[in-house]
């Protein structure tokens, strides 16, 4: 059975926190100290009262909170919390649903983790190199570094791309929406300390926005660099999102800088030459280019990118994560989820994708959507209610009905390790 995360119960932190059983049982007891605002903490092994107490000290609330977090990491469970979990399981067994019990437990854990996170310090990334997959990458320290998502999972495909980045290759990531293309680049940048600029081509991005333009400021005509020369001069990583929606004039400008160290000629600025900073890197993402062209009907307005253009990139196909990988991502992103819940949710996503591949469903099921649904589920405690804004309202009525039946099937029939012990 998976350990219930340690709680700071609503009525205060006092109580007993244990791990292991029998002779290997280890416990911490927290009680109010005689001194105001202070807590007494005692530590021992075996039965409380029978064995020897090897630590007996007094701490303040800040210190105690840090200890509660540490104990949680070490696998200690509050007795009150363990009792509540046992009650949940018994109730769910009576109702015939381990999923519901798992979810209620996870909701409580989510609340605690949210609170603990708010108190935690942001992680530092100031190291000389950092390992991405099996690749050691040098670390810079730019402004505009994306926010670190510690839960991001680098799958084996990361190695090749990381090497391409080190070698200053142009990298294009293609795949369905929400398969992790943009976040891959951002998370490598977050770990290596590089600033990232993004330009989205699905909209009204003009060549002027991209390259730059002249404008009048305080009676003077001044040049404003577009996102491409800014990234090149300052050494940022530029992600061009949805490149298959870009206008041809933008593709033409890009072609010049696709060679490593390719320079940009600003014709509009009297043929000024922009030489790329050594840290400058160029990435593109696309949903329907190259090997994904078969799905162009799903991404209305996407253009075919010609082969000569594609040949200037390393193009990687981003499939959705496997069921095991997605389970891991769910558990890392939302530590309150139990492994059984995460597995069930990943299985639901996998089934929806299989239905999409058979064309029974018209909508793809992204990792983004799955995480969003799970997050909402942890807030509402109700999988069906959470699915309304996270899933059903985004798809056709027929798709919603099919997805609902897939969810019901899994929520009712998936074997949870807790269910077998309760029945
Ligand atoms: N490997 C992963 N590890 C952790 N989270 C992931 C992973 N892949 C995807 N995600 C989650 O999915 C979300 C969506 O990913 P992202 O925005 O990178 O998708 P995308 O492929 O760029 O989609 P789009 O084509 O719609 O732009 C991320 O913010 C992240 O929460
Ligand atoms: Mg994206």
Report whether 126 contacts 400 (CB < 8 A).
no
C-alpha 77 to ligand 2 mean position (Å)? 40
Residue 97 CB–ligand 1 contact under 6 Å: no
CA distances from 322 to 77, 288, 298 (A): 31, 21, 22
Q: Report the distance separating Cα 157 and Cα 159, nearest Å.
A: 6
| Overall average pLDDT of the 28-37 stretch | 91
In contact, 321 and 142? CB cutoff 8 Å: no
Mean pLDDT of 297-325: 87
Place of tokens 């200053």: 168
Residue 52 — pLDDT band, cuts 50, 70, 90? Answer: confident
332 Cα to the center of ligand 1, angstroms? 14
Angle between helices 181-192 and 158-166 (to 10 degrees): 60
Residue bearing the CA closest to ligand 1, atom 30: 368
- Atom nearest to 151 CA in ligand 1: 4
Cross-strand bridge partners of residue 129? 138
pLDDT of residue 321: 93
pLDDT at 261: 78
Predicted confidence (pLDDT) per residue in 176-196, tens digit: 888 999 999 999 999 999 999
Residue owning tokens 């029974």: 360
User: Given this model, what pLDDT does residue 417 score?
Assistant: 44
- Residue 395, pLDDT > 90, answer yes
For residue 29, the model assigns a pLDDT of: 94
pLDDT of 416 higher than 60: no
Is there an atom of ligand 1 within 6 Å of 178 CB?
Answer: yes
Q: Is 104 in the pocket of ligand 1 (CB under 6 A)?
A: no
Would you say the CB of residue 187 lies under 6 angstroms from ligand 1? no
Query: Which of 183, 190, 346 for mutating ligand 1's site (highest number of atoms within 8 Å of CB)?
Result: 183
d(Cα 389, Cα 369) in Å, to the nearest integer? 10
- Ligand with minimal distance to 375 CA: 1
Percent of the chain residues past pLDDT 70, beyond the cut:
90
CB of 327 sitting under 6 A from ligand 1: no
Structure tokens at 16: 């007993």
Residue of 368, 376, 390 to mutate, ligand 1, most atoms within 8 A of C-beta: 368
Measured from the CB, is residue 148 less than 6 Å from ligand 1? Answer: no
State the sign of the Cα–Cα–Cα–Cα dihedral 225, 226, 227, 231.
negative
Q: Is 416 in the pocket of ligand 1 (CB under 6 A)?
A: no
CA of 184 to the centre of ligand 1 (A): 7
> Looking at ligand 1, which atom is closest to the CA of residue 287?
25
* CATH for 129-317 (3.40.50.300, 3.90.1640.10, 1.20.1250.20, 3.40.640.10): 3.40.50.300
Q: Token pair 């009297």 is at which residue? A: 270
**Is residue 177 in contact with ligand 1, taking CB distance under 6 Å?**
yes
Q: Using a 6 Å cutoff on CB, does residue 387 contact ligand 1? A: no
Q: Average model confidence (pLDDT) for the chain?
A: 85
Cα 200 to middle of ligand 1, angstroms: 16
Residue 193 is classified by DSSP as T
Instruction: Give the three-state DSSP class for 64.
Output: helix
Is the C-beta atom of 315 inside 6 A of ligand 1?
no
Look at 250-264, 315-329, 352-366, 367-381 and tell me which has the smallest mean pLDDT. 250-264
Torsion angle (degrees, nearest 10) of CA 97, 100, 104, 107 = 150
φ, ψ dihedrals at 39, nearest 5°: -125, 145
Which pLDDT does position 122 carry in this prediction? 52
* Three-class DSSP category at 393: helix
Our answer on whether the CB atom of 344 is closer than 6 Å to any ligand 1 atom is: no
> Is 338's C-beta closer than 6 angstroms to any atom of ligand 1?
no
Cα–Cα distance for residue pair 353/190, rounded to 1 Å: 30
> Which ligand minimizes its atom distance to the CA of 332?
1
Is the distance from the beta carbon of residue 152 to the nearest atom of ligand 1 less than 6 Å? yes
Rounded mean pLDDT of 362-372? 93
Which ligand is closest to the CA of 181, given by its number?
1
Choose which residue among 156, 173, 179, 239 to substitute to test ligand 1 binding: the one with the highest number of ligand atoms within 8 A of its C-beta: 179
pTM above 0.85, yes or no: no
Evaluate: CB of 146 within 6 angstroms of ligand 1: no
Please report the pLDDT score of residue 375 as a whole number.
95
Q: Where are the domains of the chain?
A: 1-95, 129-317, 325-422
Tens digit of each residue's pLDDT (9 = 90 or more) over 123-168: 444 457 788 877 888 777 666 899 999 999 999 889 999 999 999 9
Most confident of 21-30, 289-298, 348-357: 348-357
């Amino acid at each position: 059975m998976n350990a219930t995360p340690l709680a700071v119960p609503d009525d205060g932190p006092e109580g007993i926190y244990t791990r292991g059983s029998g002779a290997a049982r280890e416990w911490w007891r927290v009680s109010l100290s005689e001194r105001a605002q202070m807590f007494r903490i005692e530590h021992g092994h075996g039965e409380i009262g029978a064995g020897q107490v090897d630590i007996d000290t007094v701490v303040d609330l800040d210190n105690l909170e840090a200890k509660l977090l540490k104990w949680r990491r070490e696998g200690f469970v509050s007795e009150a919390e363990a009792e509540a979990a046992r009650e949940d399981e018994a109730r769910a067994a009576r109702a015939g649903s381990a999923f519901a019990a798992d979810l209620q437990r996870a909701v409580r854990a989510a609340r605690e983790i949210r609170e603990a996170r708010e108190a935690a310090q942001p992680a530092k990334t100031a190291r000389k190199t950092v390992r991405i997959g099996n690749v050691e990458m040098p670390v810079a320290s730019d402004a505009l570094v994306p926010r670190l998502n510690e839960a991001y999972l680098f799958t084996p495909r990361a190695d090749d791309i990381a090497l391409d980045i080190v070698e200053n290759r142009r990298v294009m990531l293609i795949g369905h929406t929400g398969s992790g293309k943009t976040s891959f680049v951002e998370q490598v940048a977050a770990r290596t300390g590089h600033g990232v600029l993004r330009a989205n081509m699905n909209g009204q991005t003009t060549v002027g926005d991209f390259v730059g333009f002249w404008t009048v400021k305080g009676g003077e005509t001044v040049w404003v660099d577009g996102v491409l020369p800014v990234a090149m001069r300052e050494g940022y990583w530029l992600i061009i999102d949805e490149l298959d929606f870009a206008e041809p004039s933008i593709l033409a400008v890009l072609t010049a800088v696709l060679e490593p160290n390719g320079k940009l000629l600003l014709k509009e600025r009297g043929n000024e030459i922009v030489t790329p900073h050594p840290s400058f890197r160029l990435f593109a993402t696309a949903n329907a280019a190259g090997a994904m062209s078969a799905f162009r009907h799903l991404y209305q307005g996407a253009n075919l990118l010609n082969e000569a253009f594609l040949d200037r990139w390393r193009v990687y196909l981003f499939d959705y994560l496997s069921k095991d990988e997605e389970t891991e991502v769910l558990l890392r992103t939302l530590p309150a989820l139990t492994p059984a819940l995460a597995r069930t949710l990943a299985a639901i996503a996998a089934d929806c994708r299989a239905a999409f591949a058979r064309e029974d469903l018209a909508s793809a099921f992204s990792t983004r959507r799955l995480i969003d649904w799970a997050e909402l589920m942890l807030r509402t405690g109700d999988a069906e209610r959470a699915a309304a804004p996270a899933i059903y309202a985004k798809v056709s009525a027929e798709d919603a009905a099919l997805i609902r039946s897939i969810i019901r099937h899994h929520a009712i029939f998936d074997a949870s390790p807790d269910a077998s012990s309760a029945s």
